[in-house]
Amino acid sequence: MDFHNLVSNITNPTLLFFLLGVLATVIKSDLEIPAPSVKFISLYLLFSIGFKGGQELQHGVFSTEIVFALFLGVAISALIPMYTFFILKPKIGVANAGAVAAAYGSVSAVTFVSAASFLEMQNLYFDGYMVAIMALMEFPAIVVGVSLIRRFGGSDEPSSGIRGIVSHALSNGSVLMIMGSLLIGIVADSKQAEGIKPFTTDIFKGFLAIFLLEMGMVTARRFKAFRHHGFYVIAFAVLVPALNGSLVAFISGWVTDSHANRFIFAVLAASASYIAVPAAMRLAAPKADPGLYIPMALGVTFPFNITIGMPLYYAIICWC
C-alpha cells in the first residue's frame, strides 16, 4: 500500500472517532453516549447493511461462485475454533478455550461495517451475498466451540444442549436484524426501496463514527479486565487474527476474483464476535470467564483489525 493510502486510512474519520473514544476513557472524561442511543445505532447499522445487501442480491444472479463462497465462509467459521481451542486449552482451561475459540471462529458485525467503510475509501464495493455469508458464519463456530467443551470438559460443563445454543444464536437480536433486513431487501420492490435510500446510505458513515466513538470508550474500559491472564492472551488476540486474515486473503482468490469480496472474507476470518457468542456462551459455558473472551475480542482484536489488520489484508490481496 502506498503512502497516500496509508495516510488516508490513518486519517479516516471513523478511526479517529474510535481513538477519541479511547482517549476519553484514558483521561477519565465524562463523555458518554446514552445506552438507548447506542442500541439504536447498532440496530441501524445492521439494518442498513442487511437491507442494502438484500437489494444487491435481488439484482444479482445465483452462480457457482456464490455456492463456493458460502462453503468457504462456513468452512472458515468451523475450522478456526478447531485449531485455536487446542492452542488455548493448556493455558486457560477447557471452558475458556472453547468460548474464546468460538468467538474467534465467529464474526464481528461492527468490524464488517468498518470493512465496508474501508472499501468505500478505495472506491470498491462487495457483492450483496457477502452479507448473507457474514450472518451464516455466526453459527458453525458456536456449535464447534460448544462441542469441544462437551468433549473435553465433561458432561457438567454446558448448561444447554447444542440445539438450544443454535436456537439462542438464531434468536439473537443482531443476527435476527441483519438476516431479517437481508430477506426484506431481497423481496422489497426496488422502486419503493429508493424511498429509504437516504436513510440507509447517506447518513451511514455519520452513525458509524458515533458508534465507533462508543466502541473506543468501551474498549479502553475493558482492556484492563484481562491483564492478569498475561501476555499470552494479548499475543493470541493479535497474532491469530492476523494469521487467519492473511491466509484467507490469499486463498479466497480461488473462490472469487473480486478484491472487495476477498477483503471482506479476510476481515471476517480475522474478526472475533463479542455479541452473539457471549450471549450463547452464557448458556453453553457458565464456567467460562466473560472478562477474558469479551475484552480479547473487543479490547485487542477489534482495534488491531481497524488500524493494522485491514491495510495488511488489503495489501496482501493487491499483491496476490
95-107: pLDDT as tens digits: 899 999 999 998 8
Answer yes or no: is 16 within a domain: no
pLDDT of residue 1: 46
What is the widest separation between alpha-carbon atoms in the chain?
57
Least confident of 76-90, 112-126, 158-172: 158-172
Has residue 77 got a pLDDT over 90?
Answer: yes
Q: Return the CATH number at 105.
A: 1.20.1530.20
Answer yes or no: is 2 within a domain: no
Q: Percent of the chain, pLDDT > 90?
A: 28
Answer yes or no: is 238 within a domain: yes
The length of the chain is 320
Q: Give the cell for residue 79.
A: 475450522
Answer yes or no: is 27 within a domain: no
Answer yes or no: is 5 within a domain: no
Phi, psi of 28 (to 5 degrees): 60, 45
pLDDT of residue 314: 94
Rg, the chain, Cα only: 19
Has residue 266 got a pLDDT over 50?
Answer: yes
**What distance lies between CA 213 and its chain's CA centroid?**
17
Between helix 35-59 and helix 109-121 the angle, nearest 10°, is 60
pLDDT band for position 304 (cuts 50, 70, 90)? very high
pLDDT band for position 146 (cuts 50, 70, 90)? confident
pLDDT of residue 86: 95
Answer yes or no: is 159 within a domain: yes
**CB crowding 2-26: b at 16 or more within 10 Å, else e:** eeeeeeebeebebbebbbbbbebbe
pLDDT of residue 197: 80
pLDDT of residue 173: 67
Of 245, 315, 253, 258, nearest to 129 (Cα)? 258
Mention every residue, 6+ apart, whose C-beta is less than 8 A from residue 95. 149, 153, 157, 285, 287, 288
Has residue 46 got a pLDDT over 80?
Answer: no
pLDDT band for position 59 (cuts 50, 70, 90)? confident
Give the pLDDT mean for 114-120. 87
Least confident of 50-64, 176-190, 196-210, 303-317: 50-64
Q: Identify residue 313 by its one-letter amino acid code.
A: Y
pLDDT of residue 105: 94
Answer yes or no: is 51 within a domain: yes
pTM value?
Answer: 0.76
Domain of residue 130, residue span: 35-319
Torsion sign over Cα 139, 145, 151, 153: negative
pLDDT of residue 249: 95
Report the distance separating Cα 225 and Cα 240, nearest Å.
20
Highest-scoring range by mean pLDDT, 9-23, 170-184, 222-236, 250-264 = 250-264
The number of folded domains in the chain is: 1
pLDDT band for position 278 (cuts 50, 70, 90)? confident
Answer yes or no: is 22 within a domain: no
Has residue 117 got a pLDDT over 60?
Answer: yes
